[in-house]
Amino acid sequence: SQKIEQNSEALNIQEGKTATLTCNYTNYSPAYLQWYRQDPGRGPVFLLLIRENEKEKRKERLKVTFDTTLKQSLFHITASQPADSATYLCALDMSNTGGFKTIFGAGTRLFVKA
Amino acid sequence: NAGVTQTPKFQVLKTGQSMTLQCAQDMNHNSMYWYRQDPGMGLRLIYYSASEGTTDKGEVPNGYNVSRLNKREFSLRLESAAPSQTSVYFCASSEGGQGSYEQYFGPGTRLTVT
């Protein structure tokens, strides 16, 4: 079965540093991969989408990479700020399976200290 | 433009009671989804509706039913609530049903079944 792994341990970094979060997956080759941000008590909010033929995607201080050989995506936040503290979810497109559309990882909690 | 709205925000049920969670979106999206989120687990798809008039089971449909009332509204019904259904429920919508479309989430309904 398909599986997504995100680091369940929280990531603690100092303000101004680059945060790097990892999303690994097995048994599937998604055409798209998405990253979402979720704040406590709220619904997830879309951040970035990357296609399988794109190695890297950037949006302001955010950068996502997609390595289909390693079956891994990395999510970077440069010049991190305390306001970046949240849980970050990765999500894989499953539409090629003909069944469920998207599956989500459990997320990694990021804490940015001032 | 309210995006995706959900009611109620909180609910406590006794085992065996029934209830309906309401969801509406004002973005003219074709696809709508119901997820549940439990601690340490990713969002799990309960049911989805690729377009008005269609519904399909997701990963964890047992104990739930859905109705796509019109293009705007997608409701989730628990016929006989069980403690295992204690969770946070999110409704989401997207322009299309493929994984290339970002999903917009509602604020969630926190349900406790005693």
- Give pLDDT tens digits for B2-36: 899 999 999 999 999 999 999 999 999 999 999 99
Average pLDDT over all residues of chain B? 94
Q: What is the CA radius of gyration of chain B?
A: 13
pLDDT of residue A113: 97
pLDDT of residue A94: 74
Of B99, B102, B106, the CB nearest to A95: B99
Q: Is A102 on the interface with B (CB under 8 A)?
A: yes
Residue B68, pLDDT > 80, answer yes
B97–A105 CB contact, under 8 Å: no
Close Cβ partners of B26 (under 8 Å, ≥ 6 residues apart): B1, B2, B3, B72
Q: Is B90 on the interface with A (CB under 8 A)?
A: yes
pLDDT of residue A28: 79
B105–A93 CB contact, under 8 Å: no
Rounded-to-integer distance, Cα B14 and Cα A97, Å: 38
Close Cβ partners of A96 (under 8 Å, ≥ 6 residues apart): A29, A30, A31
pLDDT of residue A2: 66
B59–A100 CB contact, under 8 Å: yes
pLDDT of residue A1: 64
pLDDT of residue A99: 57
Q: What is the CA radius of gyration of chain A?
A: 14
pLDDT of residue A109: 96
B97–A95 CB contact, under 8 Å: yes
Rounded-to-integer distance, Cα B99 and Cα B101, Å: 5
Q: Is A32 on the interface with B (CB under 8 A)?
A: yes
Kindly state the average pLDDT of the residues A70-97: 92
Kindly state the average pLDDT of the residues A57-70: 95
DSSP bridge pairs for A18: none
Digit-coded pLDDT (tens) for A44-62: 999 999 998 898 999 999 9
Residue A30, pLDDT > 60, answer yes
Q: Is B45 on the interface with A (CB under 8 A)?
A: yes
A30–B99 CB contact, under 8 Å: yes
pLDDT of residue A98: 62
| Closest to B4 measured CA to CA, from B97, B94, B110 | B94
Q: Is B102 on the interface with A (CB under 8 A)?
A: yes
| Closest to B67 measured CA to CA, from B82, B81, B48, B80 | B48
pLDDT of residue A102: 83
